[in-house]
Amino acid sequence: MPNILDARGRSCPEPVIMTKAAIESNPKGSLQVLVDSHVAVENITRFVTGKGYNVNVEQVNEEFTLNIKK
């Protein structure tokens, strides 16, 4: 079961910083990040793919779930 990080309502770069901390605390685990802006999706996706992670983005209305795993 993945860890869930709720970064909704936060503006960049805070969701990226939160994601970085979550990945560093559990580098081999999976992570779900909840955000509510396209900018956060783009920035987190760019960050984690640069670190070698795979990302799958799901959108429901104006909210996004980023499923991140190694």
Domains and CATH numbers, the chain: 3-69 (3.30.110.40)
Cα distances (angstroms) measured from residue 41 to each of 25, 32, 35, 55: 21, 12, 7, 10
pTM over 0.85, yes/no:
yes
The tens-digit pLDDT sequence of the chain (70 residues) is: 679 999 999 998 999 999 999 999 999 999 999 999 999 999 999 999 999 999 999 999 999 999 999 9
Residues 35 and 8: beta-carbon distance below 8 Å: yes
